[in-house]
Homo-oligomer: A and B are copies of this chain.
Amino acid sequence: MLQPPASALYTRGLSPRQNGDMDDRAGHRVVIVGGGFGGLSAARSLRHAAVDVTLIDRRNFHLFQPLLYQVATGGLSPADIASPLRSVLRRQRNVRVLHGEVTEIESGARRVWMGGTSVDADTLVVAAGVAHHYFGHHDWQALAPGLKSIEDATDIRRRIFEAFERAELEIDPARQQAWMTFVVVGGGPTGVELAGAVGELAHYTLPGDFRRIDTRQARVHLLEGAGRILPTYDARLSPVAAASLKRLGVTVHTDSFVTDVRPDGVTVQSGQRTDTIPARTLLWAAGVKASALGAILARATGAELDRQGRVIVTPDLSVRGHPHVFVIGDLAHVPVPGGQPLPGVAPVAMQEGAYVARLISRRLRGLQTGPFRYRDYGSLAVIGRSAAVAQIGPLRLRGFLAWLTWLFVHLMYLVEFENRVLVLIQWGWNYVTRNRSARLITGEPDDERMGR
């Protein structure tokens, strides 16, 4: 038996003699690591199965990540898009939730450790997701925060609204313009949504609030390395999105790479050309890498990892040679014959979770299950009030209809859980008034950016 590292024994404040399995469970024990779209979908899909489920997460809530950019731009509050996992799973009596971080997986993956506490698993489902990736430039992280967690979102919110406050106080025109310049790195859905929301703030929400600056003079630059924004979407939607962004004062730079990030701006390489954009607010939506749990699982099972650190799984989403270990969601690399691996989006993770739950139930009844197949219902990205692009099967939507579709899909998901009708009301209000009442500057400012 592999012992967890000695330091881990104390991590969660338990003394060594308290170590050991907390299990008094009798049935087939399913341990799910991660309460995101994949893990939560797996847990809920197991509600009628004769299994004992343990869901472990570092956070005490499920986060609806697709709306995180709304928190970052002051439209919604964190609690509007986060549901306590215990609430969501309260009535599902075959699930218990443990709040903690998995620090070790034993060889063979029959037991996981959270510091000094261990949990036994007959079946293990790892759905630990991804973090930001700065392509080796770790120092960029503090200057250009990404958008994955609630803390990221309130940090970005602080940066955006503080920038306008600083511009109002600034006397030097060049410095003032740098405070009113925003650079979003990465032209995928998150980058597009973030850039559109900042443009909308500057053009529609904030004018009138300030006395010395005209917030409509704000500039938003969206940088994308590929030849078009939304590169994973249908090619016809990219120019539509770019035109909507332009109306919100967003300048789109394609074939453009960031080569340097400083507190007062970025250097951008576009072909042979190198430009410097003076800007005080830099936001990162460019790249992700796998959770460290991918490497921990690889050590325990010999699983193969791809370049981003994701676990390469077999067609039934299990780890090769370990049919009782599954990886789902953004952490899984699901090979698609002759194509790109499945994208890291919520529908993929949810379908994977439901598939694994079905496979586990059927296996306990002695039944075989065919390989996982992803059913693509479409993609959506929103650019601002009434503007979005959508591809749904053969349909390509844009403008208000796409926006309504986007609103409907996201609200239906939220409403499924809880009293998210409030979010609908908040949105209705925001839509009519262009209000963003959650624009609070909270937390500690970053000294380097503030020039002190």
Contact = CB atoms under 8 A, between A and B. Distances in A.
A85 B83 CA distance: 29
B437 A83 contact: yes
Contact of A437 (B13, B87, B114): B87
A78 to B, nearest CB: 6
Interface in A404-452: 418-419, 422, 425-426, 429, 433, 435, 437-443, 450-452
B22 A451 contact: no
Nearest to A435: B419
A87 B437 CA distance: 8
Contacts of A168: 98-99
A151 interface: yes
A319 interface: no
Interface in A90-105: 90, 96-100
Contact of A84 (B79, B154, B439, B443): B439
A12 interface: yes
Number of copies: 2
Interface stretch (A205-213, A226-234, A327-335, A338-346): A205-213
A441 B165 contact: no
Chain A, interface size category, equals 35 or more
B18 A171 contact: yes
A209 B87 contact: yes
B165 A99 contact: yes
A172 interface: yes
24 contacts: A10-B452, A12-B169, A13-B166, A13-B450, A18-B172, A60-B161, A60-B439, A60-B441, A61-B440, A77-B79, A77-B80, A78-B440, A79-B440, A86-B209, A86-B210, A87-B209, A97-B211, A99-B441, A151-B443, A419-B429, A419-B433, A419-B435, A422-B425, A422-B426
Interface of A: 10-14, 18, 22, 59-61, 77-80, 82-84, 86-87, 90, 96-100, 114, 117, 150-151, 154, 161-162, 165-166, 168-172, 206, 208-212, 418-419, 422, 425-426, 429, 433, 435, 437-443, 450-452
